[in-house]
């Protein structure tokens, strides 16, 4: 195994040949903001948050898909980079309907935490307020397109970890949409294995387990009845 | 197939020709004005007037002067061709009668018009001359000789060397040196390599590649085959957008004919070289003109770009080394092989060699396709060849490079048209769209038009392009509606910078260009629309 | 030192931010020692006064009254603070925007007719219920805003953190746990 020596934010580090700049930085304890990156699936370089400066190269490069090379000098944290990152997040917040106050992911949302990390306290662009539906036809899970940032983590984990190939992307530009099978209702999907990997992958509240929203908190009281019957009447039938 | 057989086909075909040839333009433009009926009527008229023995009516590709179409050209009567313009199907009898000296009041064009006289034709040399659906026509003017020469007299490295020597740069827009690209693919290790011809021309107002494919499909196929030999590929894909049905059907015919004669397929010219070409039809996404997105599409996947490196030369189609060039780039190859790289390099400027085809459109008198040597001043194109703006109006600006390009104001009309000079003005050569604007054009509206185009055509993969173009369009709309302030303009400029520097592919990286160039040269048109910032911070400076 | 003139206003929101403000508890007494509250839903003042130093704005801009008051506030105040998510993002009140710009009428139909148990009628009488705007907007899309305090509602300690900095004449900066939407 051969190693490469490089500098990230002034720190000399070594990384395995073929490693991404993101991996190298993470190993060295340097945190680069990411959104479409997900451990376990391949990188697509889509969210542009992990863009870094490499000395001598004109263009900004995504840390997730750029391989380490001998002697490169990488800057992950500059005024310019952070400005672009903040703008990227502002664009995301304005693009769909991210209403944190009523979101199942509030407080556990990567979009939120990235925004706080960059000191984003308001969005300067006009909110677009597009109309998107919620697909709640699946028995266990739901998909709220209002909260989707199109990172495609769900698609990649569905194809490459589960191997089901249920999730996909349809449409172009801002009208792009995560779909199930051939743009069918999730509840009608025959390819979905109900493994929940898409939900695990989602950085926001777009994909969620059912029952987590306030209005869905139905109480299942049959268990109580079962225990009481078992104790008092010695009946063990559910 | 050997060279003798090729020559025999050519001789036989030339021998069968009649004295007078009536060429009918049957490219998409003239076809939309009923060129098929014109040709049919011409054929009937020839029969009825008893001229069968000496007159043949030939289907040809684009003659270039589209604004004057439908066009009919006649060879063999006078020393120069006779060109009939704005022809209708009912004019057929009069045209044929004119061959017998009968006067007509049909519109006759001037073959010495600057629109034609100032052109240097390499790529479009056969356009409007040969029948694009007859391989014999192509062979008769020396077609497939270059492929034969390359296969039998040159080593692959020599072919690459010749292309490098020619100084040809990619005609798709970026202007990357073609020889260097070929050399890289040739040197990339891999048992399987691919050639792709990018015919996904999508810039508004651009129809250069369509015309080449419709008028001279074999020229592109031959160029691809030579490239395949040079880099060691045996499979090619021609990626054409579905909006070009005529180009697709002519390519299908061309491929079938070339295969039948053994000019494509296994053991071409009885050498060990094999090369097959398949057509892939794009579904209309502009972004599929971007090479990595195009390759995804050829693979049958969603057409979205991926970060480079790795470049296609190393890892392209199906992970194999892939040479991807634009239609016009391939169309230059046979001439380079036949006449040599030095000859090609003698045309053009120091850094931009050869010719470039432009689609001249917009507020201009002479609309159509032109092929001019690199370095020609823009003024010669728009004023002499194009004849200036209609109705005696003044030309205000020339837009080059489509949605990725910029608007060049009239004061720079003396700029030579080459890669470097256009870039210096904040525009690009692009694929060859040239849209002329007169003094009635509102530049903010133009910027908005292109931004809306980019927004609609964004693939949606990366955030800056997907959401940034939408916000830029929103800001431009606000400015046009006179609802924006200086702060909105600042936001627009900030977004231009951000989208340019952070987008994943060329579409997003260049999407702000029409805004940036109009801001650079016509900033006053933006500022005139701005409103005072009544509720901004300035209003609160005093207690 | 001159006592600062503070105002708080309640546009289109649930009043939760003001509840949170009242949760400042004993800090309110400290505050009262330093500032005059010259306008607030919890004080009976009819007209928004001139010369306000700091105005906290709760709620999104939903109707013509909100809009008119906001313009007046901007003209008469030095520093505006968008107070809570409705003011900062539009939040829940802005969710009606998804139904298109002609939705104002549909909103009234749903609220006052479709869901009404008694006397279903849309409030159209002039001067009683202010007309809804076509689109609900966060405060800074309408007027310039100096500082932002997100949260639904922002908890009292965050309000205090911001107020302390503002009263000291600093540019307030919320970081870490103090910066949070929702």
SS3 state of residue A168: strand
For A102, residues 6+ apart whose C-beta sits below 8 A from its C-beta are: C92
Of A115, A123, A130, the CB nearest to C98: A130
As a whole number of angstroms, the distance between CA B445 and CA B378 comes to 23
Q: In terms of CATH, what superfamily is C4-95+134-178?
A: NADH:ubiquinone oxidoreductase-like, 20kDa subunit (3.40.50.700)
As a whole number of angstroms, the distance between CA B303 and CA B314 comes to 20
pLDDT in tens, C60-105: 999 999 999 999 999 999 999 999 999 999 999 999 998 876 778 8
pLDDT in tens, C130-160: 889 989 999 999 999 999 999 999 999 999 9
As a whole number of angstroms, the distance between CA C44 and CA B255 comes to 86
Domains of chain B: which residue ranges?
16-117, 143-345, 355-438, 444-527
> B485, A68 in Cβ contact below 8 A?
no
Q: Give me the residues paired with residue B278 across strands.
A: B237
In chain B, the residue whose alpha carbon lies closest to the alpha carbon of A62 is B307
> A171, A150 in Cβ contact below 8 A?
no
As a whole number of angstroms, the distance between CA A7 and CA A19 comes to 14
Indicate the fold that domain A84-216 takes in CATH: Alpha-Beta Plaits (3.30.70)
B308 in A contact zone (CB under 8 Å): no
C107 vs A contacts (CB less than 8 Å): none
Distance from CA of C171 to the nearest CA of B (A): 15
B527 in A contact zone (CB under 8 Å): no
Sign of CA dihedral B473, B476, B480, B483: positive
User: Which residue spans within B318-432 are E strands per DSSP?
Assistant: 322-326, 355-362, 368-373, 395-400, 406-409
For C180, residues 6+ apart whose C-beta sits below 8 A from its C-beta are: A107, A112, A116, C150, C151
Distance from CA of A93 to the nearest CA of C (A): 9
C37 in B contact zone (CB under 8 Å): no
List, run by run, the mean pLDDT of 10-residue segments along chain B (543 residues): 94 94 95 96 96 96 93 93 95 94 91 93 96 97 97 97 97 93 97 97 92 97 98 98 96 98 96 97 93 97 94 96 97 98 97 96 95 96 96 96 93 96 92 94 97 97 98 98 96 98 96 96 97 73 37
A104 in C contact zone (CB under 8 Å): no
Q: How far is C-alpha C129 from the geometric centre of its chain's CA atoms?
A: 18
Is the Cβ pair A131, C100 closer than 8 Å?
yes
As a whole number of angstroms, the distance between CA C173 and CA C178 comes to 9
Architecture of domain B444-527 in CATH? Up-down Bundle (1.20)
Domains of chain A: which residue ranges?
3-76, 84-216
B498 vs A contacts (CB less than 8 Å): 83-84, 87-88
pLDDT for residue A1? 59
pLDDT at A173 over 70: yes
Distance from CA of B491 to the nearest CA of C (A): 13
pLDDT for residue B1? 87
How much of chain A, in percent, has pLDDT values that exceed 70? 97
C153 in A contact zone (CB under 8 Å): no
Length of chain A: 238
As a whole number of angstroms, the distance between CA B17 and CA B536 comes to 78
User: Which residue spans within B327-389 are E strands per DSSP?
Assistant: 355-362, 368-373
As a whole number of angstroms, the distance between CA B435 and CA B426 comes to 16
Is the Cβ pair A46, B504 closer than 8 Å?
yes
Mutate to test the interface with A, among B286, B456, B466, B507 (most CBs of A within 10 A): B466
As a whole number of angstroms, the distance between CA B463 and CA B508 comes to 10
Is the Cβ pair C99, A131 closer than 8 Å?
yes
Mutate to test the interface with A, among C91, C92, C146, C182 (most CBs of A within 10 A): C182
> B212, B253 in Cβ contact below 8 A?
no
pLDDT in tens, A110-167: 999 999 999 999 999 999 999 999 999 999 999 999 999 999 999 999 999 999 999 9
Q: Read off the tokens for A191.
A: 């390819």
User: Which residue spans within B439-513 are E strands per DSSP?
Assistant: none
Distance from CA of A95 to the nearest CA of C (A): 12
Mutate to test the interface with B, among A61, A172, A178 (most CBs of B within 10 A): A172
Architecture of domain B16-117 in CATH? 3-Layer(aba) Sandwich (3.40)
pLDDT for residue B173? 84
- pTM above the 0.80 mark? yes
Let me know if A156 is exposed, middle or buried by CB neighbors in 10 A (0-12, 13-18, 19+): buried
pLDDT for residue B386? 96
C57 vs A contacts (CB less than 8 Å): none
Mutate to test the interface with B, among C143, C145, C146, C147 (most CBs of B within 10 A): C143
pLDDT for residue B543? 35
Distance from CA of B505 to the nearest CA of A (A): 10
pLDDT for residue C123? 82
C110 in A contact zone (CB under 8 Å): no
CA atoms within 13 A on the CB side of B103: 1
B494 in A contact zone (CB under 8 Å): yes
> B165, B342 in Cβ contact below 8 A?
yes
As a whole number of angstroms, the distance between CA A214 and CA A204 comes to 17
As a whole number of angstroms, the distance between CA B402 and CA B431 comes to 8
In chain C, the residue whose alpha carbon lies closest to the alpha carbon of A120 is C179
Phi and psi at residue A113, to the nearest 5°: -65, -35
As a whole number of angstroms, the distance between CA C181 and CA A107 comes to 9
A97 in C contact zone (CB under 8 Å): yes
B469 vs A contacts (CB less than 8 Å): 173
Which pLDDT band, with edges at 50, 70 and 90, does C176 fall under?
confident
Which pLDDT band, with edges at 50, 70 and 90, does A99 fall under?
very high
In chain B, the residue whose alpha carbon lies closest to the alpha carbon of A96 is B467
Indicate the fold that domain B355-438 takes in CATH: Ubiquitin-like (UB roll) (3.10.20)
Is the Cβ pair B470, A95 closer than 8 Å?
yes
Of A97, A103, A129, the CB nearest to C182: A103
> A108, C71 in Cβ contact below 8 A?
no
Distance from CA of B484 to the nearest CA of A (A): 12
C126 in A contact zone (CB under 8 Å): no
Of B535, B536, B537, the CB nearest to C71: B535
SS3 state of residue C39: strand
C71 in B contact zone (CB under 8 Å): yes
A97 vs C contacts (CB less than 8 Å): 95, 98
Q: Read off the tokens for B43.
A: 């054929």
Nearest CA to B413 out of B443, B445, B388, B392 is that of B388
As a whole number of angstroms, the distance between CA A83 and CA A57 comes to 19
Nearest CA to B66 out of B375, B304, B367 is that of B367
As a whole number of angstroms, the distance between CA B114 and CA B327 comes to 26
Mutate to test the interface with C, among B540, B541, B542 (most CBs of C within 10 A): B540
Which pLDDT band, with edges at 50, 70 and 90, does A184 fall under?
very high
Domain B143-345 grouped into CATH 3.40.50.11540:
yes
> B128, B215 in Cβ contact below 8 A?
yes
B306 vs A contacts (CB less than 8 Å): 44-45
As a whole number of angstroms, the distance between CA B344 and CA B326 comes to 18
Phi and psi at residue B447, to the nearest 5°: -60, -40
Where on the phi/psi map is residue B480: left (φ > 0), alpha (ψ -120 to 50), or beta? Answer: alpha
As a whole number of angstroms, the distance between CA A213 and CA A190 comes to 26
A78 in B contact zone (CB under 8 Å): no
As a whole number of angstroms, the distance between CA A96 and CA B237 comes to 39
Is the Cβ pair B471, A92 closer than 8 Å?
no
DSSP string, B70-94: S-EEEESSSSSPEEE-S--GGGHHH
Stretch 510-539 of chain B: residues touching chain C, C-beta under 8 Å: 533, 535-537, 539
Q: How many CB pairs under 8 A join A and C?
A: 70
In chain A, the residue whose alpha carbon lies closest to the alpha carbon of C97 is A129
Architecture of domain A3-76 in CATH? Roll (3.10)
> B321, B234 in Cβ contact below 8 A?
no
B100 in C contact zone (CB under 8 Å): no
DSSP string, A132-184: --EE--SSSEEEEGGG-----HHHHHIIIII----EEEESSGGG-EEEETTTB
pLDDT for residue C101? 66
Of B455, B460, B495, the CB nearest to A176: B460
B464 vs A contacts (CB less than 8 Å): 48, 88, 91
């Amino acid at each position: 195994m051969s190693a490469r020596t490089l500098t990230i934010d002034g720190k000399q580090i070594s990384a395995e040949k073929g490693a991404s700049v993101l991996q190298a930085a993470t190993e060295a304890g340097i945190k680069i903001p990411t959104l479409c990156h997900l451990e376990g699936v391949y990188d697509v370089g889509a969210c542009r948050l992990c863009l870094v400066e490499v000395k001598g190269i004109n263009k900004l490069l995504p840390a997730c898909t750029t391989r380490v090379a001998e002697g490169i000098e990488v800057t992950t944290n500059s005024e310019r980079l952070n400005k672009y990152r903040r703008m990227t997040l502002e664009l995301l917040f304005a693009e769909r309907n991210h209403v944190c106050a009523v979101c199942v992911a509030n407080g556990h949302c990567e979009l939120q935490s990235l925004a706080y990390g960059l000191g984003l306290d308001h969005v300067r662009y006009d909110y677009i307020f597009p109309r998107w539906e919620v697909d709640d036809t699946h028995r266990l899970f739901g998909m709220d397109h209002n909260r989707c940032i199109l990172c495609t983590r769900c698609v990649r984990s569905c194809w490459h970890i589960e191997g089901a190939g249920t999730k996909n992307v349809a449409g172009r530009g801002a009208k792009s949409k995560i779909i199930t099978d051939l743009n069918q209702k999730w509840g009608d999907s025959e390819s979905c294995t109900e493994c929940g990997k898409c939900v695990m992958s989602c950085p926001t509240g777009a994909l969620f387990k059912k029952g987590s929203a306030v209005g869905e908190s139905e109480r299942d009281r049959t268990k109580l009845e079962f225990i009481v019957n078992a104790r008092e009447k010695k009946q063990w039938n559910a | 197939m050997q060279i003798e057989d090729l020559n025999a086909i050519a001789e036989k075909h030339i021998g069968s020709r009649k004295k007078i040839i009536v060429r009918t333009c049957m490219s998409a433009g003239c076809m939309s004005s009923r060129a098929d009926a014109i040709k049919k009527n011409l054929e009937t008229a020839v029969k009825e007037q008893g001229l069968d023995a000496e007159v043949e009516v030939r289907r040809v590709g684009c003659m270039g002067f589209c604004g004057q179409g439908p066009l009919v050209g006649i060879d063999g009567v006078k020393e120069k061709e006779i060109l009939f313009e704005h022809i209708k199907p009912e004019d057929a009898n009069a045209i044929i009668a004119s061959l017998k000296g009968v006067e007509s009041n049909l519109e006759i064009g001037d073959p010495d018009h600057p629109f034609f006289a100032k052109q240097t034709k390499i790529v479009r040399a056969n356009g409007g001359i040969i029948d694009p659906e007859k391989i014999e026509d192509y062979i008769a003017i020396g077609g497939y000789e270059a492929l034969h020469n390359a296969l039998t007299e040159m080593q692959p490295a020599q072919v690459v060397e010749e292309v490098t020597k020619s100084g040809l740069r990619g005609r798709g827009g970026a202007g990357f040196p073609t020889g260097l690209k070929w050399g890289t693919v040739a040197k990339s290790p891999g048992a399987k390599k691919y050639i792709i011809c990018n015919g996904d021309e999508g810039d508004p107002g651009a129809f250069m590649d369509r015309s080449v494919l419709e008028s001279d499909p074999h020229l592109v196929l031959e160029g691809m085959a030579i490239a395949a030999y040079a880099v060691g590929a045996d499979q090619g894909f021609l990626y054409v957008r579905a909006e070009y049905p005529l180009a697709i059907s002519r390519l299908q015919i061309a491929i079938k004919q070339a295969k039948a004669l053994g000019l494509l397929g296994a053991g071409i010219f009885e050498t060990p070289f094999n090369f097959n070409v398949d057509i892939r039809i794009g579904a209309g996404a502009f972004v599929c003109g971007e090479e990595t997105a195009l390759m995804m599409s050829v693979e049958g996947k969603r057409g979205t770009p991926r970060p480079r490196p790795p470049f296609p030369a190393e890892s392209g189609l199906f992970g194999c080394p892939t040479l991807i060039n634009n239609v016009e780039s391939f169309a230059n190859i046979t001439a380079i092989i036949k006449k040599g790289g030095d000859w090609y390099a003698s045309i053009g400027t120091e850094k931009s060699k050869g010719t470039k085809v432009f689609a001249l459109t917009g507020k201009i008198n002479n609309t159509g396709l032109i092929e001019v040597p690199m370095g020609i001043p823009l003024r010669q194109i728009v004023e002499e060849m194009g004849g200036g703006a209609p109705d005696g109006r003044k030309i205000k600006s020339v837009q080059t490079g489509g949605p990725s390009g910029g608007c060049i104001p009239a004061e720079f009309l003396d700029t030579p048209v080459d890669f470097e000079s256009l870039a210096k003005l904040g525009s690009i050569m692009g694929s060859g769209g040239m849209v002329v604007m007169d003094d009635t054009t509102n530049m903010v509206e133009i910027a908005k038009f292109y931004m809306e185009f980019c927004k609609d055509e964004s693939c949606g993969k990366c955030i800056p392009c997907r959401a940034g173009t939408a916000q830029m369009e929103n800001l431009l709309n606000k400015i046009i509606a006179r609802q924006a302030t200086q702060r909105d303009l600042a936001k627009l400029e900030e977004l231009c910078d951000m989208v340019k520097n952070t987008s994943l592919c060329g579409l997003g990286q260049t999407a702000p260009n029409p805004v940036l160039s109009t801001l650079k040269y016509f900033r006053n048109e933006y500022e005139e629309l701005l409103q005072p910032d009544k509720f901004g911070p300035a209003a609160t400076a005093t207690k | 030192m001159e006592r600062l003139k503070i105002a708080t206003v309640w546009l289109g929101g649930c009043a939760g931010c003001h509840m949170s403000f009242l949760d400042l508890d004993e800090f309110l007494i400290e505050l009262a020692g330093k500032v005059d509250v010259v306008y607030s839903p919890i004080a009976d003042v009819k007209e928004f006064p001139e010369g306000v130093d700091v105005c906290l704005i709760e709620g999104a801009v939903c109707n013509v009254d909100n809009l008119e008051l906001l313009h007046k506030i901007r003209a008469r105040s030095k520093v505006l603070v968008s107070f809570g998510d409705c003011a900062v993002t539009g939040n829940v009140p802005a969710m009606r925007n998804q139904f298109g710009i002609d939705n104002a009428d549909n909103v009234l139909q749903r609220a006052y007719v479709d869901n009404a148990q008694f006397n279903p009628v849309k409030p159209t009488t002039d001067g009683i219920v202010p007309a809804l705007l076509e689109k609900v907007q966060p405060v800074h899309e309408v007027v310039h805003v100096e500082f932002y305090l997100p949260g639904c509602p922002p908890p009292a300690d965050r309000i205090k953190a911001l107020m302390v900095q503002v009263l000291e004449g600093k540019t307030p900066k919320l970081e870490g746990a103090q910066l949070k939407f929702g």
